[in-house]
Amino acid sequence: MEKIEHIGIAVKNLEESNTLFAALFGKAHYKIEEVKSEGVKTSFFDVGSNKIELLEATNPESPIAKFIEKKGEGIHHIAFAVSNIKAEIARLKAEGFTVLNEEPKFGADNKLVAFLHPKTTNGVLIELCQERS
């Protein structure tokens, strides 16, 4: 696993949070992207060598809607960059982690992604992401 690629934050209202985080970072988001398959609309901020991803639910069944219902707004996941996501999934499975999607799927920001179940990672939802070539 390489560096932290981004930290995902669940928000209720992406537009309001874009304004808030732009004031916090002193610069605006560089992209907004909807991931229909996940029921989310995201925005990305470049903060030094890391990024912050804001996630808003686009429907009530979205994992983000359920997260906010249970826990409120806040940090939703930490994403780590990997160079070979399939090899990393196999390695982590062998280590006993529960991988939520064993087949990498298309995520936001031109990435292939997979998630580890928080029950096997001390309550932290971990995302693996590999840049799509």
Which stretches of the chain bind Zn ion, using CB under 5 A? 8, 53, 79, 127
Q: Which residue has the tokens 């992207």?
A: 33
Report the Cα 117 to chain-centroid distance in Å: 13
When the beta carbons of 39 and 96 are compared against Zn ion, the nearer one is: 39
Shortest reach from residue 53's CB to Zn ion, in Å = 5
Shortest reach from residue 87's CB to Zn ion, in Å = 20
Report the alpha-carbon distance of residue 33 to residue 75 in Å, rounded: 19
When the beta carbons of 64 and 96 are compared against Zn ion, the nearer one is: 64
Shortest reach from residue 127's CB to Zn ion, in Å = 5
Handedness of CA 25, 31, 35, 36 (dihedral sign): positive
Q: Are 55 and 9 in contact (CB under 8 A)?
A: yes
Shortest reach from residue 8's CB to Zn ion, in Å = 4
When the beta carbons of 55 and 94 are compared against Zn ion, the nearer one is: 55
When the beta carbons of 53 and 56 are compared against Zn ion, the nearer one is: 53
Q: What number of CA atoms fall less than 13 Å from residue 101's CA on the CB side?
A: 16
